[in-house]
Amino acid sequence: MLTRVRRLATRPVVLWSAFALTHLWLGWVGLNHPNLPFGDVTNVYLPWVQQSLDGYRLGVDGPWVYPILAFLPMLASLVLGPGLYGIGWMLMVSIADAAIFAYLITRRSRTEVPAAGHGLRILAAWWWLAFLLLIGPVSVGRIDIFTVDLVIAGLLVIRNRPALAGVLLGLATWVKVWPAALIAAGVIAMRRRLRVAVGALITLVGVAAGALAFGAGLNAFSFVSEQTGRGMQVEAPISSLWMWLAFFGDRTRVYYDHEILTFQVTGPGSDLAAMLMTPLLVVAVAAILVLAVFVVRTGAASTVVLPPLALALVAALIVFNKVGSPQFMVWLSAPIILGIVTQGRRFFLPAMMAFVMGALTQVIYPIAYDWVLGLDPVMLGVLTVRNLLSIAMLGVGVAMLWQSRKSSRPVGPREVDEHAGGLFRGTFRRAVAER
């Protein structure tokens, strides 16, 4: 019976059926839940698109909160018309996700042992679907999902096609800024780092030149200044302290920022904390990159260093971020998928931690968001646990990066097979081998 289940789990029709059902469910909940998980899509993105089509181009004729390429998936989602914009958005998300999913379940590297390498790719595909379901509709109801797709693709091809990886990560950075840290990770960890750097640089400069050619001027870079004045969003890790202070009534309150369109918390010391978070974020990322340089200089292989380095960076970008939007959890998909594919069992702990973080995130938003804003102590506890797990994920990533220094040679196919033992190997090895 178990062997039959394993065999079914590798069949394309089962995989694609699960993919379709996952995205249909997320889309339906996103468009129908009373707390409007797709509110940004239908109430913010659509008016932005209509405004641009009416002649005022965001990021070109005036400042905008996002890098300029973020507009492309928003515009493409108009394919079914403004009345069906939410469905059009979900259609574009499904197409983008399907490209990554197809690469995971069909791609076979010439260096892979079929029983381990391809089986781990299928496992990563199943893990990704489960993770999206656990995070809930917000995982696909924000522009972040397109960035994540580009980052996953870039990380998966970086070993064999570093220049293409640089291009993909560069494009992702022009959708949202956070993938820039992973460009740095690729340059540090990979032996063909110059190709990664050149691919990313050409893309970054090329997109900027295109924006300037359209007359954007400094508006092309306005997303930097648009973010600097933000306060602390209620879901951010740093905000947990002030959320509890608000619960105890210590001159602290939750309020809605009509300019940023999000709920924030303010109280004694909150302005100083908000001001310090961005410098702390820069310091944290720089410290992780310095540690990575040391690890690489010990002779550690890129296949060993890059996944935990990417995980540590993404976790730092979440922990030290004063925004803390729930969709940030989907960023973890990229390093964990890379880790499962390349290192198997070693990424069991972060993969399971991400599951818990994703489930708690969906409870926080959209399921019980009104209770969070109402300072319900149970939901404040849930929020605090999720944020503490984010900090723990950062610790796990840094620890795994530090442990990587012990490896002084590349991980070959047989070593990946050995490293993928236990649960991961037992799940898929025989099923794939018997096909």
> For position 434, what pLDDT does the model report?
35
* 356/274 Cα distance (integer angstroms): 27
Residue 225: pLDDT band (50, 70, 90) is confident
Distances (CA, A) of 13 to 7, 9, 109, 120, 171: 12, 9, 22, 18, 32
Beta bridge partners of 264: 233, 255
88: tokens are 């059009």
pLDDT attached to residue 423: 37
pLDDT greater at residue 419 or residue 180 = 180
Q: What angle do CA 117, 121, 127 make, to 5 degrees?
A: 140
Phi, psi of 257 (to 5 degrees): -90, 110
* Burial state string for 130-160 with b = 16 or more CB within 10 A and e = fewer than 16: bbbbbbbbbbbbbbbbbbbbbbbbbbbbbbe
Neighbouring residues of 306: CB distance < 8 A, sequence distance ≥ 6: 155, 158, 185, 186, 189, 190, 338, 342
Please give the mean pLDDT across all residues of the chain: 90
341 within 8 A of 126, measured Cβ to Cβ = no
How far is the C-alpha of 242 from the C-alpha of 248, rounded, in Å? 10
pLDDT of residue 116: 52
Distance of CA 410 to the CA centre of its chain: 27
d(CA 265, CA 403) in angstroms, rounded, equals 38
Distance CA 287, CA 313 (A): 10
Taking the C-alpha atoms of residue 1 and residue 16, their distance in angstroms, rounded to an integer, is: 22
**pLDDT higher than threshold 90 for residue 1:** no
Convert the pLDDT of each residue in 301-350 to its tens digit. Answer: 998 999 999 999 999 999 999 999 999 999 999 999 999 999 999 999 99
CA atoms within 13 A on the CB side of 340: 28
What is the spatial distance between Cα 299 and Cα 290, in angstroms, rounded to a whole number? 15
Q: Is 307 helix (H, G, I), strand (E, B) or coil?
A: helix
How many other C-beta atoms lie within 10 A of the C-beta of residue 343? 24
Q: What integer pLDDT is reported at residue 230 of this predicted model?
A: 82
pLDDT (average), residues 275-288: 96
Residue 98 structure tokens? 């399907």
- Kindly write down the DSSP assignment for every residue of 342-375, as one continuous string: HHGGGGHHHHHHHHHHHHHHHIIIIITHHHHHTT
pLDDT tens digits along 398-416: 999 999 986 444 444 333 3
Q: What is the distance between the alpha carbons of residues 30 and 327, in angstroms, rounded to a whole number? A: 13
State the pLDDT at residue 424. Answer: 38
Phi, psi of 254 (to 5 degrees): -100, 135
Per-residue model confidence (pLDDT) at position 398:
98
Instruction: Reply yes or no on whether the pLDDT at 351 is more than 70.
Output: yes
- What phi and psi values does residue 264 have, to the nearest 5 degrees? -130, 170
Each residue's pLDDT tens digit, 81-138: 999 999 999 999 999 999 999 999 986 544 343 445 678 999 999 999 999 999 999 9
Please check whether residue 152 is in contact with residue 333, taking contact to mean a CB–CB distance below 8 angstroms: yes
pLDDT at 75: 97
- Residue 130 is encoded by which pair of tokens? 């489960």
